[in-house]
Chains A and B, each alone.
Chain A
């Protein structure tokens, strides 16, 4: 049995309208990993997930899930996967409990066992009180949690979440992060696509970036962040008569008492604070201009865009 939770080899997808969504995608996700699959809109993330979960037919290539080939061992492969899609795709007229218990039935789980498991997951996701409510009556956040409960009911080894926190408020998002971390610690391999790069940075150990149907980056989060050449910080300070002089740094006064400074990797912050101290500048607060992964993501995708155009 393979050690990989997911192995994709030379995956191609060409749609009938001629669009080539995937151009020989190669990707491996190890067992127990928390993997972020990122990419701009239309990069091929959802197509990849669609193929893995049998909702999209591939043009060519090979996909194995925990060693089970999607072409020859489909039933075994499907049993390993739980999918939380981007769009709500349950019957809005069914109750929460019906949706989860029926889904269990499709995996051969008896009704008695399914009801037991449904209680377990609905309680964990704070939906048990809503078990007899029709799905259409739930709030957006509850609907997202319902899809997670439904995906977990057959206790998959690989959970794929396609933008699970889109449109979810901050409090709920953070509680979902805790829940997902907990699942991962229990040994469930998780693949996450998201547009919130802070989310990917907080949760994931490895990261893959897809652009134009190809994997342009596949590494650990640590290695990826190490590639950053510089970071931009914003400093709030008590305004002085003279503009701060920060020799060796690219600094811009963006407002009264607000300074934006690019700090190269080899420069560090100590030297910068020394310069502030020498000029008697009192710093009130500092923050990143953007999430650091976001900066890197934009950089990588833009570079790849340029290379493709050339």
Chain B
């Protein structure tokens, strides 16, 4: 039985990876172009005038945040669009009629989101090398934060897809929730620059913790404690996973 589940998991994961590689012009190229523009405009052109941030150059400061931003948006949109398309075209039924447990369905789709998130993260990192030298404070922190964040936002994308009834529904959350939270999550600034009230408000933004943790991995500087980052990530991953499992088991948007 374990072999059945393992083969099923690999099949879903391979299908997901094949999907985003097949449409690489839509999935891999745009984030690279967008992030290159950020590097040029905010890093090179404006960054020189801004000077240092928390003891490092502005370019060095924003690179981890921009990598994390691309990981978040790509992990999210991969699972969201793929799962919703499968629902819309009814090919999700291929999985529902098969003896594939809900855990495997979630892990397969989330695995696809993680793969795309990490691949994009690597490509953006390589692009950033054209603008700034590469420094690593802790590989472990980078890898853990990257993996947990990609997992969390893949799960969030899955939840969005489960609730979505139209293609409009899968663009609402990224536009009105994800993008504002990411931009206000400390990608371009240190929280210490904010007035105390806004610093407090920012602590309610979970993306602050992820960007802070990721930046710590590269530069050794942070806005919030590293353990807080992992705690927040672990809590949200657990909650989102449990919720996604419950919805699929109940057949929300999948079964009549």
Contact = CB atoms under 8 A, between A and B. Distances in A.
Interface of A: 15, 47, 50, 53-57, 74-76, 78-79, 81, 83, 85, 87, 89-94, 98, 102-110, 150, 154
B249 to A, nearest CB: 11
26 contacts: A15-B256, A47-B256, A50-B256, A54-B96, A55-B93, A56-B255, A57-B251, A74-B99, A75-B99, A78-B99, A85-B93, A89-B91, A90-B89, A102-B15, A104-B11, A105-B11, A105-B14, A106-B8, A106-B98, A106-B99, A107-B4, A107-B8, A107-B98, A107-B99, A108-B4, A154-B98
Given A92-B89, A107-B99, 10 more contacts: A54-B96, A55-B96, A57-B255, A78-B98, A79-B99, A89-B90, A90-B89, A106-B99, A108-B3, A154-B98
B20 to A, nearest CB: 12
Contacts of A78: 97-99
Q: Is the interface of B mostly helix, strand, loop or mixed?
A: helix
A105 B93 contact: no
Contact of B98 (A50, A76, A103, A110): A103
Contacts of A55: 93, 96-97, 255-256
A290 B14 CA distance: 51
Contacts of B255: 54-57
Contacts of A87: 90
Which of B4, B19, B22 has the most A CB atoms < 10 Å from its CB? B4
Contacts of B192: none
Given A56-B256, A108-B3, A110-B7, A93 B22 contact: yes
Contacts of A103: 94, 98
Nearest to A74: B99
Given A74-B99, A103-B98, A108 B7 contact: yes
Contacts of A50: 256
B203 interface: no
Nearest to A89: B90
B18 interface: yes
A91 B89 contact: yes
Interface string B24-39: 0000000000000000
B7 A109 contact: yes
A57 B251 CA distance: 8
B95 interface: yes
Interface string B55-96: 000000000000000000000000000000110011101111
Interface in B198-256: 251, 255-256
B5 interface: yes
Main secondary structure of the interface of A (DSSP, over half): loop
A150 to B, nearest CB: 8
B11 A106 contact: yes
Contacts of A150: 94
B15 to A, nearest CB: 5
Interface residues of B, number: 31
A277 to B, nearest CB: 59
Contact of A89 (B19, B89, B256): B89
Determine which residue in A89, A106, A154 has the highest number of CB atoms from chain B within 10 A of its CB, and name it.
A106
Contacts of B5: 108
A166 to B, nearest CB: 16
Nearest to B22: A93
A207 B173 CA distance: 50
Contacts of B126: none
Contacts of B86: 91
A89 B4 contact: no
A102 B100 CA distance: 12
A91 B11 contact: no
Q: List 5 tightest A-B contacts by C-beta distance, closest first.
A: A105-B11, A108-B4, A106-B98, A89-B90, A75-B99
A54 B93 CA distance: 9
A84 to B, nearest CB: 11
B10 interface: yes
Contacts of A91: 85-86, 89, 91
A301 B3 CA distance: 48
B7 A105 contact: yes
Contact of B94 (A57, A81, A89): A89
A276 B90 CA distance: 58
Given A75-B99, A105-B7, A106-B11, A90 B91 contact: yes
B129 interface: no
A98 B11 CA distance: 10
A91 B89 CA distance: 7
